[in-house]
């Protein structure tokens, strides 16, 4: 082992320490939701006593206590700020986080394992907002997120559509000619099939694009690569070997921003969800109302609801105070079943 090898190991440990500190600060921000006050000296003292008891020879008690006192100070500083949180599915660096940062760079992005965790967290007030992908120009509907939208009482307060630019990333020092396996989510691998085939690279399925980048970094795999966002490469200290390796430039994903409270802004778009009686002409009657009012529909999707029935998601261009919008929505209350306005909101496109 050389000095260079040792320094590489130090860099890996440093990367993990930064990620762990980030996770601790995220939990500190969340804990504020359950605390009446920021200061909790009893809790701090208990942690410091535990640290002293478990101190190691190379990291003695005095050093660790001093370090943790700095961590406490930073945690309390964050808890004292009026920070807003937005939850996304996946590991840090996921495209959902890219979209969330584009929608509002001041929000604190918090990762969730499942889409259901986002919906539940926003419903209970653990998170201020949630962001979920609902459709991709190549992959179509994101079925799980859309299914949850049917059952939720959350509101849509915003939307953003972003281009999906896939990067081939690898650990620092990796020789691009030595790469054999490429890890990523099956959908990302499929969207880069031409690039992988042209370069004789083997696609290896992984649960998440950012998760693949994180795994690559933690294991320091020097004969493998991952497909992920540029943000994930930055977070996990990976080199970008090549950018925009997707086969089609039209690869875009639309995300919805969810909140517990209804959005009070006028907005330029509206989303509704409804079901109709199971008989001929009922859906046509609904769509005809929009046509007669000359309201432009931008999306209509059918999602299986209960056995033998469907729910319909419909987006249209319109503002809350527009009289023809008010009239159409009022008429839908009697022409549909289980009708609900999900929200008026502004939509961004990057």
In the set 72, 255, 274, 312, the catalytic residue is 255
CB atoms within 10 A of CB 70: 9
Residue 155, C-beta contacts closer than 8 angstroms, at least 6 positions apart: 258, 259, 260, 261, 262, 263, 342, 343
Q: How many CA atoms lie within 13 A of 141 on its CB side?
A: 15
Q: Which of these three, 79, 111, 129, is where a domain ends? A: 79
Whether 334 is a known active-site residue: answer no
85, 253, 276, 336: which one is catalytic? 253
Mark which of 195, 213, 242 sits at the end of a domain.
242
Domain that holds residue 197: 167-242
First-to-last C-alpha distance (Å) of the chain = 47
Nearest to 167 by CA among 253, 238, 90, 101: 238
Residues 20 and 48 in one domain: yes
Instruction: Evaluate the CA torsion angle 109, 231, 161, 167 in order and state its sign.
Output: negative
Q: 230 phi and psi, to 5 degrees?
A: -65, -30
Contacts for 145 with CB less than 8 Å, ≥ 6 apart: 115, 132, 133, 134, 256
CA nearest neighbour of 325 among 300, 343, 348, 313: 343
Q: If you ran DSSP here, which 8-state letter would residue 298 be given?
A: E
Together in a domain, 159 and 188:
no
Which residues, in sequence order, are CB contacts of 316 under 8 Å at separation 6+? 269, 270, 290, 295, 296, 297, 298
In tens digits, what is the pLDDT along the chain, a chain of 350 residues?
Answer: 889 888 888 888 888 899 999 999 999 999 988 887 888 888 989 999 998 888 888 888 899 999 999 999 999 999 999 999 999 999 999 999 999 999 999 999 999 999 999 999 999 999 999 999 999 988 777 888 988 988 888 999 999 999 999 999 999 989 989 999 999 999 999 999 999 999 999 999 999 999 999 999 999 888 999 999 999 999 999 999 999 999 988 899 999 999 999 888 889 999 999 888 777 778 888 899 999 999 999 999 888 876 667 888 999 999 999 999 999 999 998 888 888 999 999 999 99
**Interatomic CA distance for residues 280 and 269, integer angstroms:** 29
Q: How far apart are the C-alpha atoms of 345 and 348, rounded to whole Å?
A: 10
Is 255 designated active site?
yes
Q: Write the CATH number for 48.
A: 1.20.59.10
Is 247 part of a structural domain of the chain? Answer: no
Please check whether residue 129 lies inside any domain of the structure. yes
> How many domains does one find in the chain?
3
Same-domain status, 186 and 138: no
Q: Where are the alpha helices (DSSP H) in 32-173?
A: 41-53, 61-79, 95-103, 115-124, 143-151
Residue 146's pLDDT is 86
The answer to whether position 311 is within a domain reads yes
| Residue 50 sits in the same domain as residue 184 | no
- How high is the pLDDT of residue 308? 65
């Amino acid at each position: 082992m050389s000095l260079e090898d040792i320094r590489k190991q130090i860099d890996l440990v440093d990367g993990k320490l930064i990620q762990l500190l980030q996770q601790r600060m995220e939990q500190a921000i969340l804990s504020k939701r359950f605390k009446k006050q920021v200061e909790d000296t009893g809790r701090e003292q208990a942690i410091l006593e535990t640290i002293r008891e478990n101190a190691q020879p190379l990291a003695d008690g005095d050093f660790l206590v001093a370090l943790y006192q700095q961590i406490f100070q930073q945690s309390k500083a964050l808890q004292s700020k009026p920070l807003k949180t937005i939850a996304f599915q996946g590991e840090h660096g996921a495209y959902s986080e890219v979209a969330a940062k584009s929608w509002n760079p001041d929000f604190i992005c918090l990762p969730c394992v499942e889409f259901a965790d986002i919906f539940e967290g926003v419903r209970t007030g653990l998170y201020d907002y949630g962001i979920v992908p609902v459709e991709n120009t190549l992959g179509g509907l994101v079925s799980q997120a859309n299914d949850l939208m049917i059952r939720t009482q959350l509101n849509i307060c915003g939307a953003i559509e972003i281009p999906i630019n896939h990067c081939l990333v690898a650990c620092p020092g990796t020789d691009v000619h030595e790469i054999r396996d490429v890890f990523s989510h099956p959908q990302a691998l499929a969207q880069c099939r031409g690039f992988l085939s042209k370069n004789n690279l083997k696609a290896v399925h992984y649960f998440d694009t950012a998760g693949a980048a994180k795994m690559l970094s933690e294991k320091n795999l020097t004969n493998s690569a991952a497909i992920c966002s540029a943000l994930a490469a930055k977070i996990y200290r990976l080199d970008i070997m090549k950018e925009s390796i997707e086969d089609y430039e039209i690869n875009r994903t639309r995300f919805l921003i969810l909140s517990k409270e209804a959005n009070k802004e006028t907005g330029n778009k509206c989303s509704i969800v409804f079901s109709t009686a199971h008989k001929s002409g009922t859906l046509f009657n609904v769509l005809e109302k929009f046509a007669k009012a000359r309201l432009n529909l931008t999306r209509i999707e059918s999602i299986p609801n209960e056995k033998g029935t469907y729910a319909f998601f419909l987006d249209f261009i319109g503002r809350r105070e527009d009289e023809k919008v008010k009239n159409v929505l009022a008429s839908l209350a009697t022409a549909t079943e289980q009708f609900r306005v999900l929200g008026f909101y502004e939509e961004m496109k990057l």
